[in-house]
Structures are given as C-alpha cells and as structure tokens.
Chains A and B, each alone.
Chain A
Amino acid sequence: MHSSEELWTQCVRWLEAELPDKDIATWIRPLHPIASRERLLLLAPNRIVLDRVRQDFLGTIRRAVRASSGETLPEVELAVGSAEVRAPAGPPSTPAAGPEPVLAPAAPDEPPMGNAPKLDSRFTFANFIEGKSNSQARAAAQYVAESPGGAYNPLLIYGPTGLGKTHLMHSIGNEIQRRNPQARVAYLFAEQWMSQYVTGVRHGRWDDIKSYYRSVDALLIDDIQFFAYKEKTQEEFFHAFNSLIDSRKQIVLTCDRYPKDVDGIDDRLKSRFTWGLSVAVETPDLETRIAILQSKAEQSHDLKLPDDVAIFVAQRVRSSVRDLEGALHRLAASARFRGEPLTTDFARTTLKDMLAAYERQVTIENIKRKVADYYNIRVSDLSSPRRTRTLARPRQIAMALAKELTQHSLPEIGESFGKDHTTVLHACRKVAELREQDLKIREDYENLQRQLGF
C-alpha cells in the first residue's frame, strides 16, 4: 500500500516519460493527490486545470496508476480543491475554491470556503523601519493594535503602492493576535469581498458569510480602491461596516490614495472610511531608505550592507520600498554567486540595467503623457496657448517635473511646450511654492514623480 504522495510521485515519474515537459509542468504538477485504498483523488487548483486534465490526460494518468500501483488498483477521480480544504466544484464560471478569511485560532464557526489569504507573520512592528514619511501611520497602527475598537475606528492607511501600508496592516493583525490569542482577525483583499459576495449570493450563502464578518473582532481590508464601481458590493460592505463599528469592532483599511480621490466609490462610503483616523504613508526619505536597506539586508540575507553601498542604492532607487528590496536581493544574489565583496562599484555594475531603466524612462514626452493622463486632459493641451487654470496648472507641473527628472535645458523644455525658458523658470518656482502651501498639489506632484519611477 502506497502513501498518496509516494504513489503520485511514481505516477508523475511515469508520466514524465510519456508527456511533454510542458504539459507536466502546467497541468500535472499542480494536481494534489489524496489516496485511499480504493481511489486516488487528484485535486486541481481550479476548474480550468480540472477540465483540461479530464479532457486530455485522464486516460494517461489511469495508465500511469496501473503501472505504478501494486495489486490494488485505485479508481482515479478529479475534483477542484486544495490540500487543506476541498470545495465542491461549482458550475464552470464559479471560482470553486473561493477565498476564505484567516482565522486564528481556528474558529469553529468559520464559513466553509477555500484558500484564505494569510496574515504574514514576518510583518511586525519590530521590523518596520520608521521615518518621517510613515511615523504617524506607524504610531496610529500601534495604538490600534493595542486598543482595537477604540478611538481610531476605522483606521485608514493611505498612500501609493509599495510604501509599507500592507506591512503596517499585517503588523496590526499579528499584534492583536499576539496580545489576545482568542481574538478573531479577518484579513482580506477588497476584491475578495467582492467575489465572496458574488459567489455567496449565487450559492445562497451570503447570509452566513455576512454574519461571519459581523462576528469578527477585527476586519482588515487591503486596497479598498478596488471597490470602485462595484455598487452592490459597496452597499453590502456599507452595512457590514456600520454594524462592526456599532459593536466597536476594529476596522483597518488601506487605499492607494485618499478615498475622496477614488472615482466610483459611493460618497456615503467615502465619508465612512474617513470617520476614524486617516493617516498617510509617503515615500521614505533618503535616511529611511538607507535604514530599510540595512535592516532588510540583515534580516533576509544575514548580510552587513556597507554604508556607502546602502547610500549608493538608496539615492538611486526612490520609488518604493519593494524596489529597494528587489535591488538588495539582486545584489546579495550576485555577490554570493561571484564571491565578490559588496562595494559601490559592484553595485553600479550589477544594478546597471535596473538603474538605467529608471533613467531611460523619463523623457519630456513621457512626462507630458503621464501628466495629461493624471489630469484627464489631452497631451496637446499642455502645449496650447490657453491659460485657463485647469490647463495652466498641469502644464506648470509637467514643466517642473521635466526640469527635475530630465537633463534637458530650460530652453529645450520650454520649446517642447511651445513656450520660452522664462515660462519654465516661472513654472518651477510656482510649483515649488504651491507644493509648500497646497496639500493637493504636493500629493499630485509626488504621485506623478512616483509614476515616472522616482
């Protein structure tokens, strides 16, 4: 009698000789075996894999089983599911293994759904690097983790992707559970709420799911901008939201911008999102970027990153913490492989493509396109002689960006906007001034910088 793993490993070996590599890698390897004496149940991750295997490979798999099993010949069956939970296969368009909230400790009354996103235990307050750009958000997150359902409810953390919102959110969840192992924390992505709603309604289970969410101690929802234009989902969320707040359960939300600026979200919901405390996470300054690099080098690679290398990388990689992480991974990998010491020269050579890619990308045309997109105007408007505020402001911002992010001379920049260099100079001064005084302009400017890779 084989264990299911053993039997399946043998079958796969047999199949490897019979089928092209690619079919093995794409269709056979994702199958997960569960064997008993009478049958070998193969769980496919989704309906697409299941259908393809049934159609093209089931016969060959049966032959593999015949060749690999001993005297007992198990029946081969296929289903959609994962190693932990086997969800019944729904109609073709149904995501059969729907997402499930994370529960820790496992609550007896959790709704029977498929794979859940997990709280990442590596994200903690202890390894969150604090700087000017995120200290307020960090302090608020810590407060919420210590007093869930208290003064800051909901806590909304907003800012562009890759700056640590998710790290803070996971830290809150992990800390709540550390302090109270009985606490039920549900973590999910905004779009999962949506798909749970759709499948829940279709299978008549929405009431169960709803009451489950109303029973948790803390609900963490990542990226609520993905709620945009999903009216029904928003309405259901609105009710769940109100009921959690009423019963003093903690809600934590993240969004890639201030919710008022997200199109396609109901105004009532937008105002609810900002009822509690809203805190921004901004691009980390140089000092913080250096500290992030050094901390991650130690944590992930057990590596002491020399100061000058950290400075070299941090000065050039500015757009997101994830990019810093990627640069570090690459440096560590190549230094290990080549057995070379980590110097700035080594970093310059190793990261050449990456750094050049940043620089190559920024052209005046590219800046104009991004700015026009951002403000919903035409690229040609940026070079038109019209001076209405709705055009003049974006034009000035585009000019200031061109001066900051490219090497072009002021006359060159002026020319590409159909203006002379004094206009560019004026624009740069004006934008610098506005960035000091006007929060919205500052945010716009920084968003655009980031979109351009800075």
Chain B
Amino acid sequence: MIGAQLPLAVQLRESASFESYYPGPNGDAVQALQSLAVPVLLYGPRGSGRTHLLQAAARHHRAAYLPLAELSAHGPSLLEGLEGAPAVCIDDLEQVAAQREWCIALLRLADQLRARGAGYAFAADAPPERLDLALPDLRTRLGACSRFGLKPLSDEERRELLRERARARGLDLPDDVGRWIINHRARDIPSLLEALERLDRAALAAKRRLTLPFVQSVLEG
C-alpha cells in the first residue's frame, strides 16, 4: 500500500544501511555498531566510511544522527533533551573538539545515556589523542568507547565492492572493467559509487551491457 506509492527515483536511492556497507577489514566495527551494547568511537579520514556506518547505526537503532560539520553553528543546545533518546550517533567531533561548552555538553550527554543504559556512537577524523580537545574529561569519555580506526579498503576490496553494488543494481561488472575503473578513476568510495550510478543510468538508456569500451566511453566521454 504505502510502498506502492513510492516514486521510482526514490526506490532506487541507496540508503546508508549496514547492508549497503562493504565491511572489508572493518567487520568488527560493524558488529559493534549493530549491537551498541557498549559505546563506540569510529575514526578515520574522509571517505573512510565513518559517516555511512554511523548513519547505518542510527537507522538500525532508531537513533538521532547529528553531523556536527553541518550543525555545530546551532551551539551545544542542539544536544539538549537527547539524553532521553533511545540512542544517539554524533559525527564530526573534530568540528567542536576545541570548544569547552561543546565538550561539556557532549560528555554530559554520554554520561546520561550511559546511566540510562542507552547506546551511543561517536565519529571523528582522528583518534581522541589527536583531537585537541578543550577538556580532558571528554577525552576519557571517548576513551571508554570501543574504538575502531576505520581502515581503507584494498584495491581488491574496492573491486569486490563495485561488483557487489553492481549486482545489487542488476548489473554484471566484469573483472577487467572493475580493474579499469579502479586504475583510471578516483578510488575513494563515494567517487566509485558515483561512477557506478552513471554507468547504471547510461546502460539503462543505451540498453547496453557493461563492456570495457562502453564503460570507457561513458566515464571518459
């Protein structure tokens, strides 16, 4: 009923879920986020998948998701009242790490969620030791988390990821094509997925399979 009303474009939208995350070497982080029995801290550079994972965790636990890179201008009052949430996921800690009031608000939120037995996960672009936190108190709260430095995928894993995502779209991605994309295009995951999205649309429009010449003409044409 409700599902039937979905516009086609929306149905095709990939959402950040655990299913759509290629775990590669980060399987233990995925499992820790799925359970969230103890607090989790993820860190890794841009494109390492921390945002995807954190959004997936938020979805899984019906948690509030707060990307501070976009929201920090609201000030720490943004966190008020969230201590009553079923779970909370906070991204981009590095954005507010140097601000004392934010540190206080974050550590109190962590304390109160913990006291209620509610789960929480944080993500930052660096481990707590290198975050330049305004308060050591927040550092110890982050220290209490099960921490995972997200590791980048190897080229082999990136190819596997592409193959899997292509399959999910009903496309067959031959090995030589996967290798060509990895060797010739930007290798970060968002770029790879964007390339796949373009290929998917082009293949549908031209009613073609993903052969190497076709892929080359789409991506370099």
- Whole-angstrom distance between the alpha carbons of A54 and B129 in the complex? 39
Give the shortest distance, in Å, between A27 (CB) and chain B (any CB).
Answer: 9
A329 to B83, CA, bound (A): 22
Return the contact of B32 from the options A13, A256, A333, A451 (Cβ within 8 A): A333
Contact present for A14 and B2 (CB under 8 Å): yes
Interface size class of B (residues with CB under 8 A): 35 or more
List the B side residues contacting A18 at CB < 8 Å. 10
- A249 close to B (CB within 8 Å): no
Contact in complex: A97, B81 (CB < 8 Å)? yes
Which residues of chain A are within 8 angstroms of B41 by Cβ–Cβ distance?
A: 326
Most buried by B among A29, A325, A334, A453: A29
Contact B112 A118 (CB under 8 A): yes
B71 to chain A, nearest CB (A): 7
Q: Does A162 contact B (CB under 8 A)?
A: yes
In A362-407, the 8 Å CB interface with B consists of none
On chain A, the residues within 8 Å of B111 by CB distance are 117, 166, 189
Nearest residue in A to B81 (C-beta to C-beta)?
Answer: A45
Q: Mark B31-47, 1 if CB is under 8 A from A, else 0.
A: 11000001101000000
- A411 lies within 8 A of chain B by Cβ: no
Q: Is the interface of A mostly helix, strand, loop or mixed?
A: helix
B81 pairs with A330, CB closer than 8 A: no
Tell me whether B149 and A353 are in contact (CB under 8 A): yes
Determine the residue in chain B with the shortest Cβ distance to A189.
B108
B104 contacts A29, C-beta separation under 8 Å:
no
Q: Does A336 contact B (CB under 8 A)?
A: yes
B31 to A80, Cβ gap below 8 A? no
Q: A76-110: contact bitstring with B at CB < 8 Å (1 yes, 0 no)?
A: 00001111100000000001110000000000000
Quick check: is A160 within 8 A (CB to CB) of the other chain?
yes
Indicate if the CB atoms of B115 and A119 lie closer than 8 Å: yes
| Distance between B141 CB and nearest chain A CB, rounded to angstroms | 7
A57 proximal to B (CB < 8 A): no
Answer whether A26 and B67 are a contact pair too, CB < 8 Å, given A300-B38, A329-B145, A329-B146.
yes
* A226: Cβ under 8 A from any B Cβ: yes
A361 at the interface (CB under 8 A from B): yes
Q: Is B190 in the interface zone, CB < 8 Å from A? A: no
> Smallest CB-CB separation from A14: which chain B residue?
B2
Determine whether A151 belongs to the interface, using a CB cutoff of 8 Å to chain B.
no
* Cα–Cα, bound, A115→B143 (Å): 26
Query: Taking the complex as formed, is B158 at the interface, i.e. its CB lies under 8 A from any CB of chain A?
Result: no
CB of A29 within 8 A of CB of B81, answer: no
In the complex, chain A residues whose CB is within 8 Å of the CB of B205: none
Name the one of A115, A325, A329 contacting B84, with C-beta atoms under 8 angstroms.
Answer: A115
**Segment from B58-66, B162-170, B210-218 that makes contact with A:** B58-66
Q: Is the CB of A26 within 8 A of B136?
A: no
Smallest Cβ-Cβ distance to A87: which chain B residue: B81
Chain B contacts for A80, CB-based, 8 A: 81
Q: Is B207 at the interface (CB under 8 A from chain A)? A: no
List A residues 279-332 near B (Cβ within 8 Å).
Answer: 300, 319-320, 322-323, 325-326, 329-330, 332
B143 and A322 contacting across the interface, CB-CB below 8 Å: yes
Instruction: Report how many residues on chain A are interfacial, defined by Cβ distance under 8 Å.
Output: 67
Q: Return the contact of A326 from the options B27, B115, B136, B143 (Cβ within 8 A).
A: B143
Q: Is A150 an interface residue (CB 8 A)?
A: no
Residue of A with least CB distance to B85:
A30
Cα(A139)–Cα(B10), bound, Å: 62
User: Are A67 and B59 in contact, CB atoms less than 8 angstroms apart?
Assistant: no
* Chain B residues, CB < 8 A from A191: 104, 108
Tell me if A29 and B63 are in contact (CB < 8 A).
yes
Contacts of A354 in B (CB 8 A): 127, 147
> Residue B80 contacts which of A46, A68, A450 (CB distance < 8 angstroms)?
A46
In the bound assembly, the distance between CA atoms of A21 and B82 in angstroms comes to: 19
**Residue from B112, B127, B136 within 8 A of A357 (CB atoms):** B127
Residue on A nearest B84 in the bound complex, by CB = A82
Query: Roughly how many angstroms separate A83 CA and B59 CA in the complex, as a whole number?
Result: 20
> What residue of chain A has the Cβ atom nearest to residue B112's Cβ?
A117
Select one of B28, B64, B129 contacting A334, CB under 8 A. B28
Cβ-closest 4 pairs across A and B: A45-B81, A162-B140, A25-B65, A329-B146
Given A47-B77, A358-B129, 12 more pairs with CB closer than 8 A = A17-B2, A25-B65, A26-B66, A29-B64, A30-B81, A117-B108, A118-B116, A191-B104, A326-B143, A326-B146, A329-B146, A354-B127
Q: List 11 A-B contacts (CB under 8 A).
A: A17-B6, A26-B67, A30-B64, A30-B82, A45-B82, A47-B77, A120-B115, A161-B139, A161-B140, A326-B144, A357-B127
Q: Which residues of B contact A (CB under 8 A)?
A: 2-3, 5-6, 10, 15-16, 27-28, 31-32, 38-39, 41, 55, 58-59, 62-67, 71, 74, 77-85, 89, 104, 108, 111-112, 114-116, 127, 129-130, 136-137, 139-149
